[in-house]
Amino acid sequence: SAVISQKPSRDICQRGTSLTIQCQVDSQVTMMFWYRQQPGQSLTLIATANQGSEATYESGFVIDKFPISRPNLTFSTLTVSNMSPEDSSIYLCSVEGQGRAGELFFGEGSRLTVL
């Protein structure tokens, strides 16, 4: 299994500002996935972050808006830039468990509210 810590757990932000979400994993993992979820709704994949390479973004998400860092095998950050109320959501970090192919583990999420 994998234990994932996300910070902040929640925040209230002003329009036009940026916020960086941190994701720390208790083991080394190759791939990390960033998702967005409206409360009670489905998960939308933002990007996949591999250590040592540029993140791969899904359609509708761009690097300028959601820059991602992946400096090592246990850590990643997602920045939500120039926020608007439409960015209000829960952002989730996820990894595949070591030796548990296909089993994703999720952080508790970062709930952002943009005013």
Partner 1 sequence: AQSVAQPEDQVNVAEGNPLTVKCTYSVSGNPYLFWYVQYPNRGLQFLLKYITGDNLVKGSYGFEAEFNKSQTSFHLKKPSALVSDSALYFCAVRDYLSGTYKYIFGTGTRLKVLA
Give the binding site for partner 1 (CB under 8 A): 31, 33, 35, 40-43, 45, 48, 50, 56, 58, 92, 94, 101-109
CB 3 to partner 1: min, Å: 11
Two tokens at 72? 């090592």
* CA 29/CA 73 separation, integer angstroms: 5
Q: Are 68 and 34 in contact (CB under 8 A)?
A: yes
To partner 1, the closest distance from the beta carbon of 105 in angstroms equals 7
Measured from the CB atom, the residue of 18 and 28 that comes closer to partner 1 is 28
Instruction: Yes or no: say if 55 and 68 are a contact pair by the CB < 8 Å rule.
Output: yes
C-beta of 73: minimal distance to partner 1 in Å?
Answer: 16
